[in-house]
Structure 1
Amino acid sequence: MRLSDVDLEVGETYTSDGLQSAFDRGLTGRGIEICYDSDDRRYLRLFARGDGPYADSLSGDEFTYVGEGQSGDQELKAGNRYLAEAKTAPLPIFFFYKPTNADAWEYRGPVEVLDYERVRRGGRRVFEFTLTYHTKDRVDQSSHASDISPPRRAETTRSRVIRDTQMSTQLKEEYRCECQVCGDVRQQSPGDKYAEAHHIRPLGSPHDGPDARSNLIVVCPNHHADFDYGMLSVDPDTGRIAHAYDNAVDGTTLNTRQDHEIDTEHLRYHNHEIADF
């Protein structure tokens, strides 16, 4: 699935199967989902529920979205970190809302991050993100939940890092789309293998990782997400994998071709700045 192929209509509702069909990936159960398209372009999916635990304030042209993490102080890691980085390094963000007692998710439109801050709420510290819609479409208030006002019209300038997709495609071919973590090969269709290329040190601000072969590994979608959420790390000296909860890969060794030299400094950066266990 390429982002340019995503065809969603503001105000329409989507079941889990509908979201799977639209994005070629199912739900993870997280409020902030880190996703990639077939060109390895990152995007986010945000989910808020009328009966959710965060009491998001969703009214007005600008609205508040509380970060993920239901217990203890929230940290600027995983989905929170990627959403915060979108303030200065914009990326596609799709926002979905499920009213209380509803069975499907309503697509509210693409949003962008205006600001964020860490505040004290209910005896703990959480991140509050100020979001706004940047679509020219408007939600008809007569037929939709009253807690979200029509989006304002605004012209915005967006930028993104240009990736060398040919380099990542070649690397996937060299590994025959086998995940370097688990060895799994996914199928995009009956005759089409699928894998994703992960930048060990993320591109763009504030990480400024290079779009280089030495900063890339080939992974399945699940372990791509685990890297992003900080659930997985690789020892830069031995290649030994550590996983926060998956015993099937914890303690195994990253599969690396002899002609694919990974820069150990990128692994050290990931382990220090992103790994969360």
Structure 2
Amino acid sequence: MILNKEYTKEEIEYAFDTRFGYGIKGINLRKFTDGKPYIILFSKQFGPYTDEFSKNIFSYDGEGINKNQKLTAANKALVDSQKDGRSIYGFRQDREKGVWKYVGLLKVINWKYTPKNGFNTYVFKLKKVNLQTINTI
């Protein structure tokens, strides 16, 4: 993956040797062939969540919309990633449809369960940890 390069869903599937099905969930839990878990994180600028992205810091709403969020497997994986060191590969869609820009490797620096838009929401603060190109996944 090349930092800031745009990829189609199919190119991302090929790079990670995975299939997302018809739609892409925001928090995708995956495992490398050696069994080590990682996360592929997707955010849409025009999506239903209120994610915010600046140059190196990312505020990401957890899984679940229009209801109080639960500690689903996906939300728990982000919470636990602080201590288990799970790799998080970040992608952002800046247009309404089409390609995803690779924003880099991310790390959860903190999170909170807080009222947002009338519901309790997991809000994760992530930071870019590697601004280099990744040649192999």
Q: Which residue of 1 aligns with 2:108?
A: 113
Counterpart residue type for residue 17 of structure 2? D
More strand by share: 2
TM alignment of 1:1-277, pairs within 5 A: 8-28=1-21, 29-137=24-132
The 8 Å contact of residues 104 and 131 in structure 2, kept in 1 or not, is answered as no
| Structure of higher RCO (CA pairs closer than 8 Å, 6+ residues apart) | 2
Give the deviation of 1:73 after TM superposition. Answer: 0.4
CA deviations over 1:215-252 (Å, ceiling 9, x no partner) = xxxxxxxxxxxxxxxxxxxxxxxxxxxxxxxxxxxxxx
Distance across 2 between alignment mates of 1:136 and 1:19: 18
Distance across 1 between alignment mates of 2:131 and 2:117: 36
Percent sequence identity is 27
Tell me: CA distance 1:54–1:9, structure 2 relative to 1, closer, same or farther (3 Å). same
Give the deviation of 1:137 after TM superposition. Answer: 3.4
CA deviations over 1:21-52 (Å, ceiling 9, x no partner) = 10111225210000011111100000000111
Q: Considering only CA atoms, is the larger Rg found in Structure 1 or Structure 2?
A: 1
Give the match's secondary structure for 1:68: coil
**5+ long unaligned stretches in structure 2:** none
Distance across 2 between alignment mates of 1:69 and 1:82: 14
**More displaced, 100-109 or 117-126?**
100-109
**5+ long unaligned stretches in structure 1:** 1-7, 139-277
Give the match's secondary structure for 1:125: strand
Runs of 4+ in structure 1 over 4 Å off = none
Give the deviation of 1:90 after TM superposition. Answer: 1.2
Number of residue pairs the alignment of both structures matches: 131
Distance across 2 between alignment mates of 1:41 and 1:48: 23
